[in-house]
Amino acid sequence: MGDTDRIRRVAQRVERAARDGNGVVVVVSAMGSTTDRLVQQAHEVSPAPPGRELDMLLTAGERISMSLLAMAIHARGLTARSFTGSQAGIITDAVHGKARILDITPGRITEALGGGHVVIVAGFQGVSRESKDVTTLGRGGSDTTAVALAAALGAPVCEIYTDVDGVYTADPRLVPAAQRLREVSHEEMLELAACGARVLQVRSVEYARNHGVDIHVRSSFSWQDGTWVRKATKTMEHPIISGVAHDTSEGKLVIRRVPDKPGVAAQIFTAFADANINVDMIVQNVGDDGTTDISCTLPRAEGPRALQLLEHVSSEIGAHHVTFDDQIAKVSLVGAGMKTHPGVAAAMFRALSEAGVNIEMISTSTIRISVVVRRADVDAAVTAVHEHFGLGGEDAGLGEVIAR
């Protein structure tokens, strides 16, 4: 949300939903400027704010937007009750800044709904099971809160309002011919989100898939339908390709000439996991001198920390040297239909080759092919692949999918 005008607009939308006779639970984020200001203040008083206190601070953001929204709804003649993550029963683990939801005990919410109130819940936050401390869920936490509550309450749908009107076959800023998808399966959405489609966060889609929650991604600025993310069914269209996603937020770490023996990869990636560094693609090639090169992608911001960690580990395991390249991009092709259609990967590589784009890494799943290319090539790569598979407006027979 942007400011109090925006809050009043949200209240109007909530009123419409509530007047239709629906029990409405609204999950809010902090207002745009609030979080930035709080983070800045934290850095003014501390070079390294402790996680517990940073979470306590940041959760003030949703507290402000949720109570203001309750007031704005009240001003429209309805009653509303706002609840913090803790009050709403969002029970998490104790990893500050990146907590995971362990359980939802929404007793106060069902009670308030039963009393005819609109319920407003602070997204992004919870309370740790053991220490009863306030936690934040990290990136995309509000979406996850919404999906988790929808599951716990047995809601028929979880609507996620965003500043775009759905999920597209490619980022429309890169590919003007990109089309909005009417529906997409949880699995495809998960791959798209994991590959850079920022419209939904991976964790929220994962939660929705695991708990069978339908998500309707739609625009805050219009009343028209957006994209439905649903359980894959027989009646759902299964285009071979749903869309092309890209991600320029990662860097590539290469560990050269690691002795090719058991336990080496485990040692490296355990160190990353312990440091809470999320590694994405991992590729290993065995060389002919008894050593191997291991490459992986991870958030660009984590690069320096990852290098530092590896300095210690790589001398232990006897790696030759480690480099971090922050000028890469990942381009991914996603489609549930590709598992039954051979040759999709070959066609994708051909399209890239014809566009003069070099491939640096390849990683695949049953419904996804991802490649790492130079960051400067990302526009050309996405456009070439999108066009090659006929995902654009003129030739939208094969499918429809991704990315804002």
- How far is it, in rounded angstroms, from Cα 372 to Cα 367? 17
71 binds its own copies (CB under 8 A): yes
- How far is it, in rounded angstroms, from Cα 64 to Cα 217? 25
Q: How far is the CB of 33 from its own copies (least distance, A)?
A: 12
Whether residue 213 contacts residue 158, with contact meaning beta carbons closer than 8 Å, is answered with yes
Q: How far is the CB of 82 from its own copies (least distance, A)?
A: 5
Q: Which of residues 114-153 bind its own copies (CB under 8 A)?
A: 132
Element (H, E) at 156: none
Per CB under 8 A, the segment of 61-69, 230-238, 255-263, 355-363 that binds its own copies is: 61-69
271 binds its own copies (CB under 8 A): no
254 binds its own copies (CB under 8 A): no
Whether residue 213 contacts residue 154, with contact meaning beta carbons closer than 8 Å, is answered with no
Q: How far is the CB of 200 from its own copies (least distance, A)?
A: 28
Extended strands (E) in 107-178: 118-122, 125-128, 134-136, 158-162
Among 22, 33, 46, 358, binds its own copies (CB under 8 A): 46
Among 17, 39, 42, 265, binds its own copies (CB under 8 A): 42
Query: Starting from the edge strand earliest in sequence, which strands make up the sheet with 90-92, in order?
Result: 101-104, 90-92, 125-128, 134-136
50 binds its own copies (CB under 8 A): yes
Among 35, 67, 291, 365, binds its own copies (CB under 8 A): 67
Nearest to 333 by CA among 322, 325, 341: 341
Hey, which residues does 228 pair with through a beta bridge?
183, 216
Cα–Cα distances in angstroms (integers) from residue 23 to residues 15, 17, 84, in the given order: 11, 8, 19
b (16+ CB within 10 A) / e for 335-354: bbbbeeeeebeebbbebbee
Per CB under 8 A, the segment of 68-76, 171-179, 187-195, 367-375 that binds its own copies is: 68-76
With 0-12 CB in 10 A as exposed, 13-18 as middle and 19+ as buried, what is 153? middle
4 binds its own copies (CB under 8 A): yes
Among 28, 68, 104, 373, binds its own copies (CB under 8 A): 68
Q: Which of residues 79-118 bind its own copies (CB under 8 A)?
A: 79-82, 87, 108
Q: Which of residues 175-234 bind its own copies (CB under 8 A)?
A: none
Contacts of residue 353, Cβ cutoff 8 Å, sequence gap at least 6? none
Structure tokens at 135: 């936690």
Using the minimum distance from each CB to its own copies, give the nearer residue, 89 or 392.
89
77 binds its own copies (CB under 8 A): no
38 binds its own copies (CB under 8 A): yes
Footprint on this chain of its own copies (rule: CB under 8 A):
4, 7-8, 11, 38, 41-42, 44-50, 52-54, 56-57, 59-60, 63-64, 66-72, 74-75, 79-82, 87, 108, 132
